[in-house]
Structure 1
Amino acid sequence: VHYFMRDVRGLQLLCVLERIKQLPGVNPRRIGLSATLGDVSLAQKWLNTGTGRECAAPIIEEGKKRVRLHIERFVNYADERDLVERDGSGNVVSVSSGGDMGEREHYEYLFKQTLDKKTIIFTNSREETEFVMAHLREIALKNKAPDVYRVHHGNVSALLRENTEDEMKSADEKIVTGATVTLELGIDIGSLDQAVQVGAPLNVSSFAQRLGRCGRRGQIPQLLFTFVESIRINSADILGPINWEFIRTIAIIELYTKEHWIEPIPPQKHAYNLLYHQTMSCLKSNGEMSPAGLAQMILSLGCFKNIPQEDYRQLLSHLIDIDQIQRTEHGGLIIGREGEKVVNSHKFLTVFLAPEYLLVKDENRTIGTVDKVYPVGVRFALAGMAWETVDVNVKSKVIFVKRVPGISVVDWDVDFNAELHTVLVRKIRSVLKTDEEYLYLSERCKERLTEIQYIARNSGILDNLVTSLSGKKYAVFPWVGTRQLMTLHYALLHRRIKSKLPWITCVYLEVIFSGTKEELEDIIAKILHSDLDLYDLPLPDKVQIDGKYNEFIPLELLRKQFIEDYLDFEGLKNAFR
């Protein structure tokens, strides 16, 4: 249930359950299952939506659980030979052939650690999964070891994914599977010997899921973390030597294993995309409806209790203007000509964003999908193997391939979004500030932590809001979550001060300011003590919560959704109290 609570599909499910309840006039019982809930009361409230019932949640005390954790680190001392480029979140950006010593040592280590052990290797991107598993397969080939390496993510064909799941359930085969979020949830893959996480988990919830995959059937959960760092010495960049991903991993482990904390569910009180979808769905099911009858049916659904009638009136008016719906001569509402194109498509049934994919086929066998055309002769990776394009049917959106030896790369335009909660960011600061010993760190990791703590403490970022980086560039460290940090970003922009979040999971703002450090601190203090109206912020039109049907929603409502459901000025101010 925790997955549905975080996703627009969960809201759609609640709407559908309520509408089904109205048809026969019965109120079916809802049962939600989860092994990784932080605040159970939030799940109870979510399941209660639209039922008029009080959810019962039996809490089972499991007592203390043993967990085996280990973090290992590998280093690329970068030069001009060959590099694996990574962004601030540790994701692969570009690759040149061969790899540095750290990369090679890392893959050899993974090969040895997973040999004859049923393992899931988790990464945070499909590209990284493909790359890691291709290397392990190559090492196995050189060592004349069996090919037990599989890839499991949303772009691998359903048949290949199901084959992998069946192989992992088998007690005989020690399959090693590279995966993203697809193996975090629900799928029965039998008992595992261990799980491996390459890089940092995205958040505490993700860590809890991945740890839970290997602690079943009475086993002690065993999770191995690995990091590869590319060391580049640049004396001008005082924060560059800090591996934030590494520190975040320690913070995540501490929050879950010692404080039993998991991120709460972010608000979704203004789900205008779903409001559009349910409006069109009702008109599709019922035919002509009066505006009042339609509003009564839609706004009575529990998911839309925070949406005022004026917002719905504005949405309906806009949908009439763009011919998604139209008025009849009797004053009723029906689906318009443009709306017919939407609701008559099989894609209308889903409410989540899904990119346009091209099918990849080896003769008549489907391998999976990619989101761009790879021209004839170009090689790319998919399902843990390298392929070469032999033909492209653009009209049918099919790429025909043949399998080739070696290692190739692939990239998708959209991968996972991530955000950090204030509690996690504060824990990151605590890890940097205190001298607590973490027994799950290898000797190399302990040395690296000591280095990073020394840099952080001497840079002033742990105790000062603003730290000078160079010239007019400053780093602002309020030690708050991503949403609160972005709120400060727009508040500074409101005062014509440019700033940016260097990467999506960054814990500080990079600010360009011509004044002094003290003047910038004073401006931020004034913002925090002001009665800032978020509706006055200079938000570009493109700044909106992603949604499949955003093109049909008035920009004013999308802006309101971003302000009300994403920005958090109160949370920013509370962090300084």
Structure 2
Amino acid sequence: MAGESSSFHLLEERIQRFIWSEGWEELRDAQEQAIPLILKGDCDVIISAATAAGKTEAAFLPALTHLLAAGGEGLIVYISPLKALINDQFGRLDRLCEQLEVPVWPWHGDVSASTKTRFLAKRHGVLLITPESLEALLCNRGSSVAAIFKHVTFFVVDELHAFIGSERGKQLQSLMHRIERALNRQVPRVGLSATLGDMKLAGGFLRPGGEPAQVNSESAGSELKVLVKGYEEPLVVQGEKDGNEEDDEPVTPGQIAADLFKVLRGSNNLVFPNSRRQVERYTHLLNKMCEQRKVPNEFWPHHGSLSKEIRTETEAALKQKELPATAICTNTLELGIDIGAVKSVGQIGPPPSVASLRQRLGRSGRRKGEPAILRGYSVEDALGPNANLREKLRLDTLQMAAMISLLVEKWFEPPRVQGLHLSTLVQQLLSSIAQTGGASAGQLYALLCGPGTPFTGLTKQEFIELLRHLGQKELVVQDSSGVLLHGRVGEKFVNHYSFYAAFASEEEFRVVAGGRTLGTLPVDQVLLPGQRILFAGKTWRVDEVDEQQKTIYVTRAKGGVPPAFSGGTGRTHTKVRQRMRDLLDASTELAFLDETAKKLVAEGRDAYVRLNLTTEFAIDQGRELILLTWLGDSANEAIACLLIRRGFVATASGPGVEVVKGDRSTENILDALEDAAVDDTPPLDILLADVKNLAREKWDWSLPEGLLRKAYASLYLDLDEGLAWVREATAARRD
């Protein structure tokens, strides 16, 4: 190895011996590239490489060499999104570091106080920590931050893509920045990820305003085998139910479970349905099949609502080599917890994103010579007289096909770095006050919102407005010398363990009809009275949205077809929607579809031609007008807001916008679009004046209205793309 490798000989001698003893035949491409960059310890580095391409070692081998060359007293801070990943890395690093006499310190909620005390006494080696534990450290040991991190030589951020575009991501940026401010120096940051759609954007996230060195390992990877099986849920003609009767169980989950049972038994696999409820459904069906056939159970559930014991049991079943095991899971097993190689990945329904699909598929085909296998399952309802546009166009099957075709082309969504996440700014303000014991408005603005900081999108005037509002909410108070301290309410929050998480646990709205709770619904789009939603297989009209009580009051919608689109599993990118349209416009067969899936695509294409959708964008559905934009959710939501501003009930829905006609005509709606095309772009205070449920993040409730709208727009609206479509569509109509 030493003769062929330009990087191997740069590593510390004991690390070289460890590599020999492990039987490595060669360094991976990512490691060859990263070692000379990280070794110097004078720049930020971002490493993008496939799952199992040796990214962790690409960071740690040179970082440890650097640390040892400086006398071994340095500190590498490894930050992970998951406690389970920390436990994994501890197992991987501890053997190597023991030979180097470098201590490794795991630090999260399940780690004993004695381990943490020993680290605080020594303060060198490798610290493995979550953002929440790092937050707690800064809040509770504020006066010691500079001493604790005095010898820090690197921040290593694992699964970087999992942080980008989220509240936790902003929190992490802020925590690293605050430590650097306490030390009065920059600490080199190393970001690791398997899924980065745009290295430049990701680099700007790793250090706002920075340009890290890039390692992009495009190793050939394994062969990819894909099969998508189509299923059709039979049409059930029923009389009107009184609402108390249980819905009939659908037929297709049983059929899909039977196929999974047949093809997965005897090997390790991951299966991703698109919700926790579906995880439970498929696990139950598969467990029942094992029981009926009197064979050992091989199917295990894994999602965030399950207890730690059940999740650990599933992970252990996947790791042990004696018996085969398949996990039915949500994205909890999408990240790099070491569960060993899996033979195949099952995806039921379209995945949340192409990037997510790539991450999931990275679990399969890890062994040399083995292909990565993707088994897709797509379900469509049989077409009846009341079929909606989504059903007619077979959009779920089209979306899965579009995402797979983009995956094959190695395209995936660019990181969403534009979000202001002002909710997290509120948390970081309160945390910084806890760390320092109090600070002036000027000091806090310079720390969090000045040039090169995580919250640069806020002006001084807006910051003052925010502080005044936080004062009214009793989150902060100002003493006579101008120092900001925690207010009565702020102190309560900061002293509770839940404060350290920048995100709220997933909250769902209760759906209530006639005083009876029907269930709960996650809400990730604008809701308005008059709008129709699909819930528990029925169509409901929204009467009222109570944001304080997180409740949607509904009544049954009589007559008419169901809503055209009922939302997806994630926020869909414009590129995916446009690929769906391209597939509808084409006539070529997709080789990775089975006969039923091909038939579904053919039906979608027939409807596309029959409805004249090659040229028409406004589809009259009687009570509603559908504007088919084929844009992503952020642009569609912007178009919906432009129409809401003009008095319409409009909803971003699937590949378009659904507008309730009420007493207006199609012409009235299209005229309103024409007005929007020529008018000046409205300020957010006007555009979002009538829009409810803008508060989506943990501390959004504490923001003044204007800043809440600004924060919401930065995350959920693409006004430029939406307006560009409106102008193009109305110009074509005039022609």
TM-score range, shorter chain: 0.7 to 0.9
CA RMSD of aligned residues (A): 2.7
Q: Check 1:521–1:355 CA distance in 2 against 1; reply closer, same or farther (3 A cut).
A: closer
- Post-superposition CA distance 1:430-476 (Å, at most 9, x none): 11111122110001111111111101211123321211222x42211
Which residue of the partner structure matches residue 137 of structure 1?
A: 287
Q: Check 1:103–1:17 CA distance in 2 against 1; reply closer, same or farther (3 A cut).
A: closer
Which residue of the partner structure matches residue 364 of structure 1?
A: none
Question: Which is further off, 191-200 or 513-522?
Answer: 513-522
Cα offset, 1:497, TM superposition: 2.5
Question: Which is further off, 17-26 or 332-341?
Answer: 17-26
Cα offset, 1:347, TM superposition: 0.6
Which residue of the partner structure matches residue 176 of structure 2?
A: 17
Secondary structure in structure 1 of the residue aligned to 2:211: coil
Please give the alpha-carbon distance, in whole angstroms, between the structure 2 residues aligned to 1:250 and 1:95: 33
1:508-519 matched pairs, under 5 angstroms: 508-512=657-661, 514=663, 517=666
Alignment-mate amino acid for residue 206 of structure 2: L
1:327 to 2:484 alignment:
no
Please give the alpha-carbon distance, in whole angstroms, between the structure 1 residues aligned to 2:500 and 2:596: 51
1:347-496 matched pairs, under 5 angstroms: 347-354=498-505, 418-470=570-622, 472-496=623-647
In structure 2, the gaps of 5 or more residues are 1-159, 240-244, 509-518, 522-566, 729-735
Please give the alpha-carbon distance, in whole angstroms, between the structure 2 residues aligned to 1:114 and 1:194: 8
Tell me if the contact between 1:544 and 1:561 (Cα under 8 Å) persists in the aligned partners: no
Alignment-mate amino acid for residue 703 of structure 2: I
Alignment-mate amino acid for residue 440 of structure 2: S
Which residue of the partner structure matches residue 532 of structure 2?
A: none
Cα offset, 1:287, TM superposition: 1.4
1:28-427 matched pairs, under 5 angstroms: 28-49=187-208, 54-63=211-220, 65-79=222-236, 96=247, 99-100=250-251, 102-218=252-368, 219-234=370-385, 237=388, 239-258=390-409, 260-300=410-450, 302-354=453-505, 418-427=570-579
Please give the alpha-carbon distance, in whole angstroms, between the structure 2 residues aligned to 1:348 and 1:110: 42
Please give the alpha-carbon distance, in whole angstroms, between the structure 2 residues aligned to 1:346 and 1:235: 51
Which residue of the partner structure matches residue 527 of structure 1?
A: 676
Alignment-mate amino acid for residue 192 of structure 1: V
Cα offset, 1:26, TM superposition: 3.5
Secondary structure in structure 2 of the residue aligned to 1:150: strand
Q: Check 1:318–1:541 CA distance in 2 against 1; reply closer, same or farther (3 A cut).
A: farther
Alignment-mate amino acid for residue 679 of structure 2: S
Tell me if the contact between 1:75 and 1:103 (Cα under 8 Å) persists in the aligned partners: no
The structure where helix makes up a greater share of residues is 2
- Post-superposition CA distance 1:130-179 (Å, at most 9, x none): 00110011011111121111111111111221222122122222101100
Cα offset, 1:195, TM superposition: 0.8
In structure 1, the gaps of 5 or more residues are 83-93, 358-369, 373-414
Cα offset, 1:416, TM superposition: 9.1
Cα offset, 1:81, TM superposition: 8.8
Q: TM-score, normalised by structure 2?
A: 0.65
Tell me if the contact between 1:196 and 1:223 (Cα under 8 Å) persists in the aligned partners: yes
Tell me if the contact between 1:489 and 1:499 (Cα under 8 Å) persists in the aligned partners: yes
Question: Which residue of 156, 162, 166 corresponds with 1:7?
Answer: 166
Which residue of the partner structure matches residue 89 of structure 1?
A: none
Please give the alpha-carbon distance, in whole angstroms, between the structure 2 residues aligned to 1:201 and 1:238: 21
Tell me if the contact between 1:429 and 1:479 (Cα under 8 Å) persists in the aligned partners: yes
Tell me if the contact between 1:75 and 1:230 (Cα under 8 Å) persists in the aligned partners: yes
Identity percentage over the alignment? Answer: 25
Question: Which is further off, 479-488 or 509-518?
Answer: 509-518
Alignment-mate amino acid for residue 599 of structure 2: E
Question: Which is further off, 304-313 or 472-481?
Answer: 472-481
- Post-superposition CA distance 1:249-302 (Å, at most 9, x none): 0111111212x2211222444221111111111111111322222322222362
Which residue of the partner structure matches residue 692 of structure 2?
A: 542
Cα offset, 1:95, TM superposition: 6.9
Higher relative contact order (CA closer than 8 Å, sequence separation 6+): 1
Tell me if the contact between 1:483 and 1:566 (Cα under 8 Å) persists in the aligned partners: yes
Q: Give the number of the structure whose alpha-carbon radius of gyration is greater.
A: 2
Alignment-mate amino acid for residue 619 of structure 2: T
Please give the alpha-carbon distance, in whole angstroms, between the structure 2 residues aligned to 1:340 and 1:514: 52
Secondary structure in structure 2 of the residue aligned to 1:33: strand
